Structure 1
Amino acid sequence: MPRALPARSRQPRSRVATWLWLGFACCLLPAWAFAALPLPADERSVLRIQGSNTIGAKLAPALAKGLLEQQGLSAIEVRPGPVPNEQSISGRAGDGRLVTVEVAAHGSSTGFVALHDGSADLAASSRPIKDSEVSALAALGNLKSHAAEQIIAIDGLAIILHPSNPIVALRTDQLARVFAGEIDDWAQLGGGRGRINLYARDDNSGTYDTFKELVLAANGKALAASARRFESSEQLSDLVSQDPQGIGFIGLPYIRQAKALAIAAGDSHAMPPSETLIATEDYPLSRRLFLYNQPDLQNPWAKALVRFAHSPRGQAIVAQNGFIAQTVQAVRVPPSQAMPSAYQALARDAKRLSVNFRFAEGSATLDNKAQRDLERLLDYLKNQGKLQHQVVLVGFGDAKADPARAELLSKLRAMAVRRDLAKQGVIFRDIIGLGDELPVAANDGDEGRIKNRRVEVWVY
């Protein structure tokens, strides 16, 4: 079975080391990433972001603040808007002009509505755009394209309980029955007697959409009418942490005072929502956080925010706000007898990188995240001096009737990644296909099969 990767070290840097790192990171960006942006001629906002509460509550304002700082603005303030879950981020230019970014965080679906009616420049979403939304927004261009879909962070849905609850792990099929109301007493799960109280995000929430897709719909269930619904992530988490009978689901930064469970899906072992398991998207309830824009984006401030979010400084802000940055890290994985022999050898002698390559649905083409991860991986290999004979690619797939076919397909996936990296001068130590070994998700649904069809990267 796959093993949890150890959390990366959080040893503090010295102030000098931090400034050196930031200076080096800035040098990796093209010069135009820091070009001065046009100032507004009036008091209208330069950028409007609408959508996900998960992103909009803290991360989007923090990224907007970082962009204003990068542009040299002063007296930067983050203020509440006229209604709950709205904020304005403003700063003063050198000539005294006010520059304002507006963030409205009422749920992922509202972001796509705002793109459609022109009231937003960027849609923040904590789930992928739906086919119906792609069709509704077709006049703006293909919002599934690499130019329109921006993966800015990785998050994990945490299943949270009161800290005194003795239960430590559940399977996704058990979760589905709990939130459908079929399992309604903690004793049915091995806990103490008591009615289970359900806490869930509202219908506009991308967090709810993700939970519905990965847990409820995947197991043929629907949310019980008895569940209490919330627009605010913080409010939901705080109420669960105060209710000994409560259970809820929440984005990773909002665990707060609650207790998070380890989760298993299909044949995978139970995994905690740890930083490294979410970074590789192995954790069963991991998810991507998105900004969506028109492919032919005209607003220079929107373009700049997208670039800033992908930059090393932007990804540092992602991490500071409790999400998982897409920075490549090398981690040691303890070998286990449950691992295939080739994988055991890697675990003994090499380190696994915190990036997995996955593919577009029904395609051998790398998905939008993987295309950007190629650039991140190449930067890492160049900086670490590991371009020649230091890299091993390990392909995995979903179960097939013929194990030999599953192994072949998994190796072909690894070869697809090899092809793109070899063009940039990477010479590989080995390419391995392990078929349907070490699943991280159930294979009886499209979402699980997509997660299992992956390529890991190991370095010596």
Structure 2
Amino acid sequence: MLPSTLLKRPLARRLTLFCSLVFGLPLVSHANDLEIHGSNTIGARLAPMLMTAYLQQSSGTKVTTRPNGKENERLLLTSVDGKPVRVLVAAHGSSTGYKALAANRADVWAASRPAKASEIASLKARADLTSMDSEHVIAIDGLAVLVHPSNPVDQLSIDTLGKVFAGQIRNWAQLGGPDRPIHLYARDDRSGTWDTFKSLVLGKTYKLDASAKRYESNDQLSDDISQDPAGIGFAGLASVRDSKVLAISDGNAPALKPNQLTVASEDYPLARRLFMYTPGPETTAMASDFLEFVLGSEGQAIVSRSGFISQNPIAVRPEFDDSVPATFQRLTANYSRLTVNFRFSEGRTKLDNKAQRDLKRVADYLASERLVADDLMLIGFADQQSNELRAQMISELRALSVRKALQAEGIADVAYTGYGHYMPVGTAGGNAGKQRNGRVEVWVRNH
């Protein structure tokens, strides 16, 4: 008999999933029932936690984990009606996951960076990696800049951080710390964490100094920094462990530490999305069902427990500093901010894939808290424009587009306004940094 959790799913998908689980129908060319390849950031802890919970829910039986005989790989084992089910999670870096998906050796590609243009083009004949059918934002992570707990330095700018890792600043005394040479720690070239750091911090201006010690593991990098008073490195937020986290500033925006609000809203300069990619029409029933679980409220609760930032919205009252205009403080005086920003496809007012899914999450939040549309306020922002009038128009249009999209979810006539190109959250990473300013914040009335 099918477990009750499967019975709640659509009939066609339920039968296909059941057949692939029980009868082992060959849907891809590998020995396991499902394989996830790619990012160590995702594969070290998050993917196994998500898959374990999914298998327990789907099969109703215990899931065991054992090594695969290879470093950073593990097998998750369970059974459905006496038939064994095997899932492999291989965590060797984001680029390895893309190669495995392209070679038909993986069902799911875990990536701690978005797919590159070359990767999208290469798989175009099989799947559109930019579509909602293939691109799944499973969590938000903050790239944490780590130092030894005794280090007195508390914050750095993006540009200063670039100079440090390029070897242009070599002593902590130059940063207000002790007279001590700086030791650099960095992820390896196969890592999406490295790709993100390279893009957002080094860019085309800086090159990583040859003295940097390279790591495949986030956790090991953080552990080594926590033992080295001269060390500085970067890792995923879930791997802070015993190291100290620095606040990071971007351009004229205030320095921020990664936390629930700054990372979930992607205001933190080194916030990043964590992805799972599937091959569109070729996605197996089991992989599709797994992603549905991951993106739902139960999967996102597991994301939170893993140390990453969930996409389930919560209301937070932000602490304003002197940089926040008095007009904005008055506007939001009776509101708290939801930990979600609506963002747009490049240069457009069209909501991106994550934002499309966030519409339902906001609707679910209102229902769970017994709130109505009148309790929401949308505030749109524009990136830097040639004049204030154009910026105001763009910010209002973006807020209006979210208002219309929420109406399709049954949330009608939400209050909205625009705040122009004021209160920028960043400029880092070239166009990508500037695009972070084009956003719509969601505020909820205090009761």
TM over 0.5: yes
- Aligned equivalents of 1:314 and 1:145: distance in 2? 21
Code of the aligned partner of 1:47: L
In structure 2, relative to structure 1, the CA distance for the partners of 1:377 and 1:297 (3 Å cut) is: farther
Aligned position for 1:78: 65
Q: Deviation string for 1:190-220 (max 9, x for gaps)? A: 10111111000000000000000110006x1
Cα distance, 1:31 vs. partner? 5.8
Query: Aligned pairs, how many?
Result: 433
- Aligned equivalents of 2:208 and 2:74: distance in 1? 31
Cα distance, 1:237 vs. partner? 0.8
Aligned position for 1:127: 113
- Aligned equivalents of 2:337 and 2:300: distance in 1? 20
- Aligned equivalents of 1:136 and 1:455: distance in 2? 33
Code of the aligned partner of 1:210: T
- Aligned equivalents of 1:170 and 1:353: distance in 2? 27
Give secondary structure in 2 for the equivalent of 1:348. Answer: coil
Taking structure 1 as the reference length, the TM-score comes to 0.90
Which runs of 5 or more residues in structure 2 are unaligned? 25-29
- Aligned equivalents of 2:320 and 2:330: distance in 1? 8
8 Å contact kept, 1:399–1:443: no
- Aligned equivalents of 2:368 and 2:49: distance in 1? 28
Superposition map of 1:226-241 within 5 A = 226-241=211-226
Taking structure 2 as the reference length, the TM-score comes to 0.92
- Aligned equivalents of 1:443 and 1:108: distance in 2? 22
Aligned position for 2:356: 371
Aligned position for 1:399: 384
8 Å contact kept, 1:333–1:347: no
Give secondary structure in 2 for the equivalent of 1:37. Answer: helix
Cα distance, 1:81 vs. partner? 1.5
In structure 2, relative to structure 1, the CA distance for the partners of 1:322 and 1:435 (3 Å cut) is: same
Code of the aligned partner of 1:94: D
What is the aligned counterpart of 1:246 among 210, 226, 231? 231
Code of the aligned partner of 2:215: F
Cα distance, 1:240 vs. partner? 0.7
Give secondary structure in 2 for the equivalent of 1:392. Answer: strand
Alignment of 1:151 onto 2:137: yes
Code of the aligned partner of 1:316: A
Cα distance, 1:374 vs. partner? 0.6
Q: Deviation string for 1:403-431 (max 9, x for gaps)? A: 12111111111111111112333234531
- Aligned equivalents of 1:37 and 1:345: distance in 2? 55
Aligned position for 2:27: none
Indicate the larger mover: 436-445 or 136-145. Answer: 436-445
What is the aligned counterpart of 1:343 among 328, 340, 347? 328
Cα distance, 1:187 vs. partner? 0.7
Aligned identity (percent) is 45
RMSD: 2.1
Q: Deviation string for 1:241-261 (max 9, x for gaps)? A: 111110000000101111110
Aligned position for 2:278: 293
8 Å contact kept, 1:158–1:261: yes
Alignment of 1:325 onto 2:314: no
Aligned position for 1:37: 18
- Aligned equivalents of 2:176 and 2:319: distance in 1? 30
In structure 2, relative to structure 1, the CA distance for the partners of 1:91 and 1:73 (3 Å cut) is: farther
Cα distance, 1:68 vs. partner? 1.0
Code of the aligned partner of 1:453: G
Q: Deviation string for 1:338-391 (max 9, x for gaps)? A: 423442124321111111000011222111100000111112223334333221
Code of the aligned partner of 1:232: S
8 Å contact kept, 1:109–1:204: yes
Alignment of 1:175 onto 2:156: no
